[in-house]
Structure 1
Amino acid sequence: MLAVTWVDKTGNGLWNTTSALYFIYVAGLSLVEVGTLVSVAAAVGVAGAPLAGRFADRVPLVRLLVAFQLLRAGAAIALFLSDGFAALLVCAALGSFGDRSANVLTKLYAARVGGPQRVRYQAVVRTAANAGWAVGGLVAAAVLSLGVPHAYEALLVGDALSFAAAAALTLRCGEPPSPRVTVAGSGSGPAAYRPASPWRDRGYLAYVATDTVLYLHDSLFQVGLSLWTVHATDAPEGLVPLLTVLNSGMVVALQVPLSRLAAGSAACRRLLLPLAAVFTAGGLAMAASVADGPWLASAALLLAAAVFTVGEILHATVSWELSVALAPAGAQGAYVGVHGLAGSVQRSAGPLAVTAAIAAGPAGWALFGAVIGATCLVQYRLVRDRLAQSPPAGALDAAPSASTGS
């Protein structure tokens, strides 16, 4: 599965770094059409995580993951063959749906295979993912800089091939143990367990809502740092790609070592306290980047990128563990699928929050960091009672069936 993740994210790196340019220079769309296409596709993708999670409680996980990877490959090829805004919109929406579905299924696979070591397993998976992203981005940059004929089309086809290769590699993976809960009823035999619904679990939905806010660090790196650097600071434009390299390099180097701080659900909850301070400090560093002169501005931006990257690493570890630990074992797929909405919704709403921070100036960034930090404290309080009441994830799998027969 590590090879699957690396191949998958390498394809993402090839395409996602150049997709907007493809739609403008190859497909001939206007800026408004590109913005509409990206927004609608992201909105459709929101449905992927909960639906895939629900299916994962009923269908073998490996087969399901292969199906969604093939959907992504097909959507990419269809995008390559399509012309016109409507056709491109449908293909992009299908690709976004498949992408969000595959993400949550990969997470479920890791959670089931990793078992008690799932935090460390997640750290290794995330390291492979970031390495793949970096390789894909570097290849895309090299292809474009060398002026390869039909470069954008080649990158899109490479993206499709990466998904097909990931599907082939997934077929070689064993099916992980699936949580199952059965309760014996009175009379002739066991009655099927009806899994809990995450949509009726207000505590879990509140946790997902707070995690959506914590995911705003993603929009900072995707949108905020580059726009703020160019439009509001004295730092040189050439610093922007270096900030991205710093982020990727730190994640690859530190994700596994820092995962040792999160040995279990209780430790992950405790990490929310220093995480609040990290995000608050990151917002203050962004605010300080308006300092006069390129050196001071660059130093503040590098500090902000480093601090927010530490926050990203810690949050990824905490979010991974708590999303599984707070879910009933018999409905793990449905719950983790709903948690996937946190990242999906943030992809749509996050750029708006980051744009608002940019418009507000230094005070906006200080508030941005403070709001995420305060949300960490809210989540710390929110999950306390839930963790005390919940059995360890997977505990129900091994529990004997309860008999109520006479």
Structure 2
Amino acid sequence: MSRPTSWHRTTLDRIPGGRDGRRMLLVSIIDKTGTGLWAGCTALYFTYVSGLGLGQVGLLMTVSGGVGIAGAPLAGRLADRLPLVRVIAGAQVMRGAALLALLTTDNFLLLTLYSALGALPDRAGSVLIKLYAARLAGPDRVRYQAIQRTTVNIGWSIGGLGAAAALATGSTHAYALLLVGNVLTYLVIAVLTLRCAEPPAPSRVAATAADAPKSRPANPWRDRTFLAYTATEAVLFLDDTILQVAVPLWIVHATAAPVGLAPLLLVLNTVLVVLFQVPLARFGATTQAARRLLVPLAGLFVIGTLALAASATGGRALAITALCAAVVALTFAEIIHATASWELSVALAPGEAQGAYLGVHGLAHSTQRFAGPLLVTGVMAAGPLAWPVLGLALVGAGAAQHRLIRDRITKAAQPSLSVPAVTVSEH
């Protein structure tokens, strides 16, 4: 695979946030390398090492996923009140401790408790990193997030390859080693995070201003427009579940394509994200531009779901071609939606409650991860024609969001709702 142009030295030298920005990117790649080691074998660990049955594993993962939904809003609220760097480091240590605790017991209830405790900081991680990017990179936050997402995909790939090599040994001890390896990455990134400078928080900047009025910060739970926006986001994030869960199952149960195509399509998804996330980020660098991206996003959803439906209507050649087209379309939908979501979620959040708002926005992705698999498996059970229906639902969610935020865009562009220029840190 050719080296992405986004990683040329000149680009790396211009990473927003200077030294601290580069250090946090290193944190991200180590984090996801460790997660990649463990994520693919989590269910297998509970089966072969802990001795749980299939139903117990399913219930454990469902419960921990449901509890994890609360992680994003809790972390966002903490980040408005405490130094962000310490909150991020604390979350990393908590993830490591909860994971390490799995080695101490085979009891189903304790394993469920530890998994749930680990899911809270795990789901909070992306929100905290987005908040750090918003405070550190300022107007360049979308580009920084694009670079960060590229490093995440590289880390996932490295970790996944390491896990595959370890599991190929056929030893049950490999599962414990992968778990410990992930724990060690959490400790490393906690130390690296604490070496990053604390970016100025809009909430504290406002609070220390001499003429700042003493008023309560905005509450996202009372902001109906933002809550409705978050609800549409939960629907639009379904591209992730379609790609990660539905496509492999659809290949096996509904098409004539070979089973070996499934991992190749996941590789295709990763490569496309690495190659195009950063270059396409420039199309969502402003709030208005990010809103306009919702239009091509709708078209990509239509193409992707129609291709999935077509993949079940013919032989092997048609199935392979249609599935490749579906994954390409849905991957570009993933890239475009991520770009728009980064900008809009920050721009619509008042500075004095930025953490709380982004925490609530984080519920969209957590909810999708929890409920998405059930939804897409229901779609698959309904047959090929259900895919275009889901595509129309995704288009409807995008159209609703496009209309919903129209009146807030102008306000979001005002200085009072933007990240102050002092948040840009160059060293």
TM-score relative to the length of structure 2: 0.90
Share of identical aligned residues, percent?
A: 54
Whichever residue aligns with residue 68 of structure 1, its letter is: A
Specify the SS of the correspondent of 1:57.
helix
Aligned to 2:6: none
Residue identity matched to 1:305: V
Matched residue, 2:359: 337
Q: Is structure 2 residue 289 aligned with structure 1 residue 283?
A: no
User: What whole-Å deviation, never above 9, does each CA across 1:110-150 have from its counterpart, x for those lacking one?
Assistant: 11111001110010000001111111111111111233561
> One-letter code of the match for 2:113?
V
The equivalent residue for 1:56 is 79
Distance 1:184 1:112, change over 3 A: closer
Match of 2:424 in 1: none
Aligned pairs (5 A) from 1:164-183: 164-180=187-203, 181-182=206-207
Q: Is the 8 A contact 2:304 2:330 kept in 1?
A: yes
Alignment of 1:317-336 (within 5 A): 317-336=339-358
Q: 3-state DSSP class of the match of 2:122?
A: helix
Q: How does 1:104-115 map to 2 (within 5 A)?
A: 104-115=127-138
**Correspondence for 1:312 among 319, 334, 338:** 334
1:360 to 382, 393, 396: 382
1:101 and 2:145 aligned? no
Q: Indicate conservation of the 8 Å contact 1:182/1:193, yes or no.
A: no
Aligned to 1:117: 140
**Within 2, Cα distance between the matches of 1:393 and 1:357?**
44
Q: Which amino acid aligns with 2:258?
A: P
Could you say what the CA RMSD is over the residues aligned between the two structures, in angstroms?
A: 1.7
Comparing 369-378 with 66-75, which one deviates more in the overlay?
369-378
Letter in 1 for 2:267: V
Q: Contact conserved, 2:347 with 2:418, CA < 8 A, in 1? A: no
Structure 1 regions of 5+ residues with no counterpart?
400-406
Q: Please say if residues 179 and 394 of structure 1, whose CA atoms lie closer than 8 Å, have aligned partners that are also in contact.
A: no
Amino acid aligned to 2:328: A
Residue 264 (str. 1) matches residue 286 (str. 2): yes
Find out whether 1:130 has 2:159 as its counterpart.
no
Classify 1:344/1:327 alpha carbon distance in 2 versus 1 (closer, same or farther; 3 Å). Answer: same
What is the Cα deviation at residue 16 of structure 1?
Answer: 1.0
Question: What TM-score do the two structures reach when normalised by structure 1?
Answer: 0.94
CA distance in 1, matches of 2:232, 2:86: 32
Aligned residue for 2:405, secondary structure, equals helix
Which residue in 2 is equivalent to 1:221?
243
SS for the counterpart of 1:146 is coil
2:253: which partner in 1?
231
Shift of 1:104: 1.1
Aligned residue for 1:177, secondary structure, equals: coil
Residues 100, 180 of structure 2: 8 Å contact kept: yes
Instruction: For residue 261 of structure 1, give the secondary structure of its aligned residue in structure 2.
Output: helix
Structure 2 gaps of 5+ residues are: 1-23, 422-427
Q: State how far apart, in whole Å, the 2-side matches of 1:287 and 1:89 are.
A: 37
Q: Which residue of 1 aligns with 2:183?
A: 160
Q: 1:393 to 1:279 in 2, by over 3 A?
A: farther
Amino acid at match of 1:11: G
Q: Which residue, 69, 75, 99 being the options, matches 1:46?
A: 69
**How far does the alpha carbon of each residue in 1:161-180 deviate from its partner, in whole angstroms, 9 at most, with x for none?**
11111111101111111103
Query: What is the CA–CA distance in structure 2 between the aligned matches of 1:336 and 1:184, rounded to whole Å?
Result: 23
Contact 2:37 2:181 in 1 (8 A): yes
**Equivalent residues of 1:328, 1:393 under 8 A apart:** no
Number of aligned residue pairs: 396
Q: Distance in 2 between matches of 1:168 and 1:82?
A: 28
Equivalent position SS for 1:240: helix
The residue number in structure 2 matching 1:402 is none
Deviation at 1:61, TM superposition (A): 0.2
Structure 2 residue identity aligned to 1:33: Q
Q: CA deviation at 1:391?
A: 3.8
- The answer for the alignment partner of 2:109 in structure 1 is 86
Distance in structure 2 (CA, Å) of the matches to 1:333 and 1:112? 10
Secondary structure, counterpart of 1:234 in structure 2: coil
